[in-house]
Amino acid sequence: MTRYTLSRLLQGLVAMWVIVTIVFFLARLGGDAAALLAPPDATPEQIAAIRLSYGFDQPLHLQYVDYLRGIVTLDFGQSVSYRQPVVDLVIPAMVNTARLALAAFVIALVLGVTFGAIAGVRAGTRYDQAVRGLSVLGQSVPPFWLGMLLVLLFSINLGWLPAFGSEGFTSLILPACALAAFPLASIARLTRSSVLEIVARDQTLFERSKGVGPATLMSHILRNASLPVVTLAGIQLGAMFSGTIVVENLFAWPGVGQLAIQGIQARDFALIQGIVVVNTFVFVALLFVVDLSYGWLDPRVRAVKSAVKSKVGANVEAAA
Amino acid sequence: MLEISNLTTHYFQGGQVATAVRGVSLTLNKGLATAIVGESGSGKSTVAMSVMRMIRPPIGDIAEGTIRVNGTDVTAASPKRMREILRTSIGFVPQDPTTALDPLYTIRSQIVEAMPHVERNKRTETIVELLTSLGIADARDRLREHPHQFSGGMRQRVAIAIALAKEPDLLIADEPTTALDVTTQIGILRLLDRLRRERHLTTMFITHDIRVARLVCQDVAVMYGGVVVESGPLSAVVEAPSHPYTQALLDASSLDVGPRQRLRAISGSPPTLLSMPSGCPFAPRCPNATDICRSEMPATTRKADGSSFACWNPVAS
């Protein structure tokens, strides 16, 4: 298990490094980065000043080393538009986004798995048809439209919840619901089909032949059905961390999405780079957790690594 | 021990009703192994699944008949009562242990689920004893292992341990050697035979291979197209088969075919569940078939040797 964890961690770090490197070169492939950053009516002196302040006058490999050192020490430079270190902007925004994404994720996971599992066990019934219909709806409705409907109903007509802002728990409910609809629907659909497949397997028949109660039977079915759901849930959570732009702007939620929009509008190069790097880190970390939970859920995954090793070892010995 | 009378079981396939078992009556003698022999689609597995009440709507249902396990009619049992019967009286050995064992759970936890009656602190000892008696070496060290760490034959022993953990009266084995290597098949067959003798287990042994049945069973019921065409003591049925299908099955599996000789196959193919003929299901492939065979189901005839058959034009002995 330790070996499995370490190998996954190493893979995650390599992925981080590759992405961060791509980001670095993408920004510098488009010709004169300073000219791109500058407003269209900038004078050559202004462009030269930008070049100097970003270190674009330095040789590329030195820039790259500087850039990597900055990432490792959490120093993404100064934001031009805010006149603050990028870290001080991105981290609080990321915390806000995480609050929103995690709230939406909990809603999506708990309800999605529950609805999907019941639909899978009772396939073909009215309940199943309702879940399938609603999940197609949930996957098709755009979040901004759903968000506006929620605001209209719960804030304007009923006056139960605030329409925007980030004060207190109540202001979290509407954006979290708007954000949860899509992952909820896709988790419900996948859970349903996965449960359906496990129920039809020999192992469920054999389990039932033991005469176990419904709770034991269901725990076997759910654990087996959870393997693909865990992957999907991890990806959905990652997408929620980086893809909350629409919902954050709709509800004036001070998260990374809003910050990114402002950074793009202000051509705030360092800020955007900082956001991309932090988002990448969050995504890779989430996939690492997904991989770990896979090893925890499925003993065969834990075994693969050492089995391959010993097989290769045996072949080498046989050859020698 | 097990008395099946006039059992009819349906499957529901997309709005249509497919009759997999039609009016099967069968008695399993206590402490003996009864082979249920037939090809795919003959209804042999459906009989076993009906005994365990695994066929319920929306998949299918028992339409008619009674199944008495130790005197209790399982067709009338509530789901809760049925679980109790499965927990205490019926052990099931699956066809393919690789797909039947849960890959995510340890061997120990899968066996424990089948022995709720054993006290908590005695479970490990009981499991180790059971596994050792079934021929698994270092059973104690392997309790925390998962199914993928066992070989095919060992996996089937684990599955047998699960079937036996509840100390059942009836053991249902559904082609228990089909998915195994030929070399391990004989070991599992010997094991099942030994267990039957030692534990006085009434065994229902489902197989398509009448030669395998001859190794471990005392009684036989030959099924075709959802009906029992011939049944009785295995030796009597093999010595003097009366039903043309039994005869054909024995011919097809006979070993005295020399090299470069044609294998004796049964021509044609078995009926599908949705196109079951109204008369004898074997009539379209039967060399002895006459008009009455195609229109009317023959009654069951008892013979002096204890066997019985259902045929209008039995094989002349």
Q: Using a CB–CB cutoff of 8 Å, tell me whether A205 touches chain B.
A: yes
* pLDDT band, residue A1 (cuts 50/70/90): low
List of chain B residues with pLDDT < 50: none
Mean pLDDT of chain A: 85
Distance from the Cα of A108 to chain B's closest Cα (Å) equals 25
Distance from the Cα of B1 to chain A's closest Cα (Å) equals 19
* pLDDT band, residue A32 (cuts 50/70/90): confident
ipTM of the assembly?
A: 0.92
Cα distances from A160 to residues A165, A173, B149, in angstroms, run: 14, 11, 57
pLDDT of residue B257: 66
Number of cross-chain residue pairs from A and B with Cβ atoms under 8 Å apart:
73
Q: Which residues of A touch B82 (CB under 8 A)?
A: 211
Percent of chain B with pLDDT over 90: 76
Spatial neighbors of A144 by CB under 8 A, at least 6 apart, are A178, A246, A247, A250
Q: Which residues of A touch B90 (CB under 8 A)?
A: 209
Each residue's pLDDT tens digit, A44-60: 888 888 788 777 788 88
Please report the domains of chain B, with CATH numbers, ordered by start residue. Answer: 2-89+166-310 (3.40.50.300), 91-165 (no CATH)
Q: Which residue has the tokens 């409910």?
A: A173
Contacting A with CB below 8 Å, chain B residues are 52, 54, 58, 82-88, 90, 92, 94-96, 99-105, 113-114, 146, 148-149, 159, 162-163, 166
pLDDT of residue A303: 66
Q: Which residues of B touch A298 (CB under 8 A)?
A: 103-104
Q: Across the interface, do A209 and B105 touch by the CB < 8 Å criterion? A: no
Amino acid identity, position B27? T
Burial of residue A259 (number of CB atoms within 10 Å: 0-12, 13-18, 19+): buried
pLDDT at A254 over 80: yes
Each residue's pLDDT tens digit, A132-160: 999 999 999 888 888 888 888 888 888 78
In whole angstroms, what is the distance from residue A89 CA to residue B280 CA? 83
3-class secondary structure, B95: coil
Each residue's pLDDT tens digit, A263-304: 888 878 788 888 888 888 888 888 888 888 888 888 888 765
pLDDT of residue A243: 61
Which of A211, A298, A300 faces B84 most closely, judged by CB atoms? Answer: A211
Each domain of chain A, given as residue ranges in start order, spans 2-86, 90-299
pLDDT at A305 over 70: no
pLDDT of residue B191: 92
pLDDT of residue B45: 94
Q: Which superfamily, per CATH, for A90-299?
A: MetI-like (1.10.3720.10)
Q: What is the mean pLDDT of residues A224-245?
A: 86
pLDDT of residue A235: 86
Each residue's pLDDT tens digit, A6-15: 888 999 899 9
Distance from the Cα of B173 to chain A's closest Cα (Å) equals 12
In whole angstroms, what is the distance from residue B247 CA to residue A272 CA? 82
